Structure 1
Amino acid sequence: MPHHRLAHLNHQDVRIDELTVHSYEMGLYLVEADFDGRKGFIVNDDNQPQRFHSVEQVKQSLSDCTVREAWLVHQSAYDEMCGGPEKTDNTLKLPICFKH
């Protein structure tokens, strides 16, 4: 599976076509980048997904590169309650501004 490292992405000559910040519970964010025709998660030195604690931390970590389009994506688990209606797609997708 393709992946990216912050050290390779955060340069002035890098242009990320699309960045997706996946929001999870308890302030955990994982980031997926579409760069150079490869879409993959940003990983740390141990090849584990790089964890971020806020959207602002993501922005700061990628402050030198150009991000063409960015999204914050969150899926709520509240529709999984017993006896409720069948699960529907409750994905929330919001644009993020990366302009400096």
Structure 2
Amino acid sequence: MKLSKLEKYFEVEKLVFHSLDLALYNVSAVVEGQEYIITDEQGERIKHHNLLQLQQLFQKVKAKKQVIRQSSAYDEMIGGPVKGNNELEVSLGDNKLY
């Protein structure tokens, strides 16, 4: 879903900032129970190395809550059995530090 379309919703259930690698994030949003990856006008995934700048970019989106989500490859790295979903999701406030 394009960011411009997301901004038109009256309210979004959840804005999810995905922590991909060290300091690389992309964004998805849960709208009416469905999760969408958010893109720019050219259809490219919106990603950034600075979480605060991403929050600034999404400041017009009226989200009930914001979270940061991270998956860990720890089990695979130590040779352990592959587990199901090991995602960690933490509430994230927008303190408007940008």
Pair in the same fold by TM > 0.5: yes
Mapped contact 1:10–1:61 kept (Cα < 8 A): no
- Runs of at least 5 residues in structure 2 that lack an aligned partner in the other structure: none
User: Could you give the per-residue CA deviations for residues 10-49 of structure 1, whole angstroms, max 9, x where no partner exists?
Assistant: 46x7321111111111422111112356531111233121
Question: Structure 1 residue 62 and structure 2 residue 58: aligned?
Answer: yes
Q: TM-score, normalised by structure 1?
A: 0.74
Which of 37, 40, 44 is the aligned partner of 1:41? Answer: 37
Residue number in structure 2 paired with 1:32: 28
Task: Evaluate the alpha carbon distance shift between residue 98 and residue 67 of structure 1 in structure 2; reply closer, same or farther with a 3 A threshold.
Answer: farther
Uncovered stretches (5+) of structure 1, i.e. residues with no partner: none
User: After the TM superposition, which residues 3-42 of structure 1 pair with which residues of structure 2 at under 5 Å, given as runs?
Assistant: 4-10=1-7, 14-35=10-31, 38-42=34-38
- Aligned residue number for residue 87 of structure 1: 82
1:99 to partner: Cα distance = 6.0
* Alignment RMSD: 2.4
CA contact (8 A) 1:6 1:61 kept: no
Q: Aligned partners of 1:36 and 1:91: how far apart in 2?
A: 22
Compared CA separation, residues 15 and 99, structure 1 to 2 (3 A): farther
TM-score (norm 2): 0.75
What's 2:69 paired with? 73
